[in-house]
Structure 1
Amino acid sequence: MRSPIAWAAVALLAVFALAALLAPWAAPYDPAALHLEQRLLSPGHGFLLGTDELGRDIFSRVLFGARLSLLVAFTVVGCSLILGLIVGSVAGYYGGWRDTLLNVYVMNAFMAMPGILLAIALVAFLGPGLRNVILALTLSGWVNYARLVRAQVMSAREREFVEAARSLGAGDLRILTRHILPNIVQPVIVQAAIGMAGAVLAEATLSFLGLGVPPPAASWGSMLNDARAHLFDSPHMVLAPAIAVMLCVLAFSFLGDALRDWADPRTR
Structure 2
Amino acid sequence: MEPSVTPAADGSVVRRGVWRTLRRRPAFWVCLVAVALLAVVAAWPAGFGGLFGGGDPYDCDLLESAVGPGPGHPLGTDLQGCDIYTGLVYGTRTSLSIGLLTTALALGIAFLVGTTAGYRGGWADSVLARVTDIFLGFPFILGAIIILNSTGDRSVLTVSVVLAIFTWPTMARIVRTSVRQVCDAEFVAAARAMGLRSSRIVVRYVLPNALGPTLAVATITVGGVIVAESTLTFLGVGLQAPSVSWGLQLASAQAQFQEHPHMLLFPSLVLSVTVISLIALGDMLRDALDPRGR
1:98 to 2:120 alignment: no
In angstroms, what is the RMSD of aligned CA positions?
1.2
1:7 to 2:29 alignment: yes
Match of 1:120 among 142, 145, 148: 145
Moved more, 206-215 or 38-47: 206-215
Match of 1:211 among 193, 212, 237: 237
Describe the superposition over 1:72-105 as per-residue Cα deviations: whole angstroms up to 9, x where unpaired: 111111111111000011111111211111102x
TM-score (norm 1): 0.96
- The alignment of Structure 1 onto Structure 2 pairs a total of residues equal to 267
Q: CA deviation at 1:22?
A: 2.5
Q: Which residue of 2 aligns with 1:18?
A: 40
TM-score (norm 2): 0.88
1:68 to 2:94 alignment: yes
Instruction: Provide the C-alpha distance between the structure 1 equivalents of 2:156 and 2:36, rounded to a whole number of angstroms.
Output: 24
Q: Which residue of 1 aligns with 2:221?
A: 195
Q: CA deviation at 1:62?
A: 0.3
1:262 to 2:263 alignment: no
Which AA in structure 2 matches 1:126?
T
Q: Which residue of 2 aligns with 1:80?
A: 106
Q: Which residue of 2 aligns with 1:167?
A: 193
Q: Which residue of 1 aligns with 2:65?
A: 39
Which AA in structure 2 matches 1:113?
F
What pairs up with 1:119-268 in 2 under 5 angstroms?
Answer: 119-127=144-152, 128-268=154-294
Q: CA deviation at 1:209?
A: 1.5
Q: CA deviation at 1:28?
A: 4.1
Match of 1:109 among 105, 123, 134: 134
Instruction: Provide the C-alpha distance between the structure 1 equivalents of 2:142 and 2:27, rounded to a whole number of angstroms.
Output: 32
Which AA in structure 1 matches 2:183?
R
Which AA in structure 2 matches 1:123?
L
Q: CA deviation at 1:183?
A: 0.8
Please list every run of 5 or more consecutive structure 1 residues that lacks an aligned counterpart in the other structure.
none
Which SS does the other structure have where 2:46 is aligned? helix
Contact 2:98 2:157 in 1 (8 A): no
Contact 2:97 2:156 in 1 (8 A): no
Describe the superposition over 1:148-197 as per-residue Cα deviations: whole angstroms up to 9, x where unpaired: 01111122212211111111111111111111111111101111111111
Describe the superposition over 1:187-227 as per-residue Cα deviations: whole angstroms up to 9, x where unpaired: 01111111111011111111112222221221001100000
Describe the superposition over 1:13-59 as per-residue Cα deviations: whole angstroms up to 9, x where unpaired: 12211221221233142111220111010000421111100000000
Instruction: Provide the C-alpha distance between the structure 1 equivalents of 2:180 and 2:121, rounded to a whole number of angstroms.
Output: 8
Which SS does the other structure have where 1:9 is aligned? helix
Which AA in structure 1 matches 2:112?
I
Contact 1:35 1:55 in 2 (8 A): yes
Moved more, 50-59 or 168-177: 168-177
Which AA in structure 1 matches 2:83?
D
